[in-house]
Amino acid sequence: MKSIYFVAFALFFICKPFSNRAQTAPLYEFRGVWIATVENIDWPSKKGLSVEEQKAEFIHLLDMHQHNGMNAIIMQIRPVGDAFYPSPYEPWSEYLTGVQGLTPSPFYDPLAFMIQETHKRGMEFHAWLNPYRAVFNIHTSSISPSHISKIHPEWFITYGDKKYFNPGLPQVRDHVAKVVKDLVTRYDIDAIHMDDYFYPYRITGREFPDEKTYRQYNRGLNKDDWRRSNCDSIIKLLYETIRANNPRVKFGISPFGVWRNKDKDPMGSNTRAGQTNYDDLYADILLWLQKGWIDYVVPQLYWERGHKLCDYDTLLDWWNDHAYGKQLYIGHAIYRAGTNAAWRNKNELPSQIKNLRKYTTTQGSAYFSSIDLKKNINGWSDSLRLDYYALPALIPPMKWIDSIPPAQPTIEKLKNNSFQIIYSGKEKIKGFAVFVLPPNIMEKKEYATLIKVLVADTKINFDRNKTIAAADDRIFISSIDLNNNISEWVELK
């Protein structure tokens, strides 16, 4: 791989000397976007597109997100017990081919294609799976004879118009673990990601019908604690599966934004959410963080600042106090842009970003969803591209996964201001980071500005004239490993 990822910059950045500018973004910051496939929300735009149309749409999405400064995508590849790749356990998704179980023609592996295109742009690929949803709509969804709900109907519960894997069954946990093991073994993904759908959101007046399973497996627990223990068990199992089969792969959860309300638990947030993770979805996120079963959490803080029941700033502060040393990114409701007075305020999203950057324990953002960034309502995509994400950022490394930096590069001068950057270390890298320091500034990375990420595996040519650095600025190069550790840097001379 010898392609270069040139980050887009606003013209006004280029037109004034770099040494007169302050660092406007952190060196490390997760910048992700959810790309939803269920009901064709984001990709593909509709069922049954040709393979070439699918590929073209996906490349267009990636180019847009790269242009806006994103460094990760969270790609939904298993929305309803189906697959956007050739799975030995689950059928092809109807959202891809139009009919569940129908193979793409001509054949291709969409997941392998998506990972390759994402990595070519220097972005991480987080594979998003829904653990328990099995049929999106029992009246209208396409269901293949090879779908697991047809093979093992006793594993499933119908609730409302959807069908769910029964979380209380050990067979269900084992099945999901097999799916995850297959993914982390065969594909070069950077993370396994799950969202807020554990036990389903409550339907008024209807109890989730798992009484029979509870009587069989309750282990002396009351039903609420038993349900939570079922979710705890699958998270622990998936964590162990990932670590045993591909320990560099991260495991993240994007839960509903409220763990518990304070009126239920003194540890809870000062909110009045109608449903919560702990009491209604039976997802004890804090336990998973405390136990180290997940590597990052992305609470969906989909309310505005000043919301009467769930204030964004209140929840931001609460999550920063309860990350337990794991990485915390904030989920933003860009889909709400323009929907009411609060979300017509052009300062809402910029203020959310400014506020989260005040916390050293918050390390980035994720946006739901891709299509809403494309719409650019309130000019928020422009704000990201031209301001908040105008400078690139590396995804924060996870020291508990890998804390050893790669070998530093060597640099050979070619001619004029052209150089060749060479990596000779044994560890695989994703590329090189290019830093700039104004003259007469102490040679420390905290004083430097990351201006470019070069995607390469061993070597790449670099032209100093094609940077935004001023003539008297100093340029330094570091290697970047797969966990985003950076090497000692080498000055370009």
Domain chopping of the chain, boundaries? 1-25+391-493, 26-388
Percent of the chain with pLDDT over 70: 95
Do 76 and 404 form a contact (C-beta atoms < 8 A)? no
CA 292 centroid distance within chain: 18
What is the per-residue pLDDT for 20?
37
The Cα 302–Cα 330 span in angstroms is 9
| Strand bridging mode 191-194 / 474-481 | unpaired
Strand partners, 437: 474
**Fold type of domain 1-25+391-493:** Immunoglobulin-like (2.60.40)
What is the per-residue pLDDT for 22?
37
What is the per-residue pLDDT for 23?
43
What is the per-residue pLDDT for 24?
60
Q: Hey, do 1-25+391-493 and 26-388 end up sharing a CATH topology, with the first three levels equal?
A: no
What is the per-residue pLDDT for 5?
32
Do 9 and 343 form a contact (C-beta atoms < 8 A)? no
pLDDT digit string, tens, across residues 125-164: 999 999 999 999 999 999 999 999 999 999 999 999 999 9
Burial class of residue 186 (count of CB atoms within 10 Å of its CB; 0-12, 13-18, 19+):
middle
pLDDT digit string, tens, across residues 69-115: 999 999 999 999 999 999 999 999 999 999 999 999 999 999 999 99
What is the per-residue pLDDT for 443?
87
Under-70 pLDDT residues of the chain? 1-24
What is the per-residue pLDDT for 147?
98
Q: What CATH architecture applies to the domain 26-388?
A: Alpha-Beta Barrel (3.20)
The Cα 5–Cα 164 span in angstroms is 41
The Cα 365–Cα 266 span in angstroms is 27
Q: Which residue type occupies 100?
A: Q
